[in-house]
Amino acid sequence: MKETELKVRIYGDPVLRKKALPIKAVTQSQRDVLSAMARLMYASDGVGLAAPQVGVSEALIVVDAGEGLFKLINPRIVKREGEQALVEGCLSVPEICVKVKRSKKVIVSALNEEGLPVKIEAEGLLACVFQHEIDHLKGRLIVDYASVLEKIKLKNKLDTLAKKAVNERYSNSKTKTCDLQL
């Protein structure tokens, strides 16, 4: 897959609501997608990106929250501890920020690019980013965490985004509304 083919899909695109397929055998194809995703994440000023966000319904994520780049395949949370709530933005839901309650510490089990099992202990921001990206693989978005009142307030914005998605299928937005873009 060429780098130029990857674009961030926005709210309303059905691929964002699909459950991503687990990878049975890691091949060059996944490594290429992961590299292209990492480039796009950095170019978009994001700290994480999941494959469904670029229209690829596979269980792949990239994360760099300042502790180095992680490229993970089939990531899942095997342990959780504590609680935290950070205001999150999402490259696929531009101009919307939602405070999301998540676990403070997690252990993520996954495969690396070579297809070898890895376990990562994460805390704070990094733990939040992993949970956000793994949510994407389940078709879950930050707006799902909004309160009933927030959802009513967000409805117009989301309808506009969804209409835009049908026409454009990807985001051109370079404006950064939330500090955290994932």
40 or 182, CB closer to Zn ion? 182
Q: How far is the CB of 171 from Zn ion (least distance, A)?
A: 11
Q: For the chain, what is the largest distance between any 2 Cα atoms, rounded to a whole number of angstroms?
A: 45
Task: Characterize the bridge pairing of strands 105-111 and 70-81.
Answer: antiparallel
User: Which position has the token pair 């990206």?
Assistant: 133
110 or 137, CB closer to Zn ion? 137
41 or 111, CB closer to Zn ion? 41
Distance in angstroms (rounded) separating the CA atoms of residues 138 and 98: 18
137 binds Zn ion (CB under 5 A): no
Catalytic status, residue 133 = yes
Distance in angstroms (rounded) separating the CA atoms of residues 12 and 164: 8
- Where does the chain show beta strands of DSSP type E? 48-50, 60-63, 70-81, 84-90, 93-102, 105-111, 117-123
| Angle at alpha carbon of residue 169, lines to 39 and 142, rounded to 5° | 75
Measured at CB, which residue is nearest to Zn ion?
Answer: 90
Q: How far is the CB of 132 from Zn ion (least distance, A)?
A: 6
Q: Which region, judged by CB under 5 A, interacts with Zn ion, from 36-44, 73-81, 82-90, 160-168?
A: 82-90
182 binds Zn ion (CB under 5 A): yes
90 binds Zn ion (CB under 5 A): yes
Q: Which region, judged by CB under 5 A, interacts with Zn ion, from 56-64, 76-84, 90-98, 115-123?
A: 90-98
Q: Residue numbers of the site for Zn ion (CB under 5 A)?
A: 90, 182
Active site residues: 133
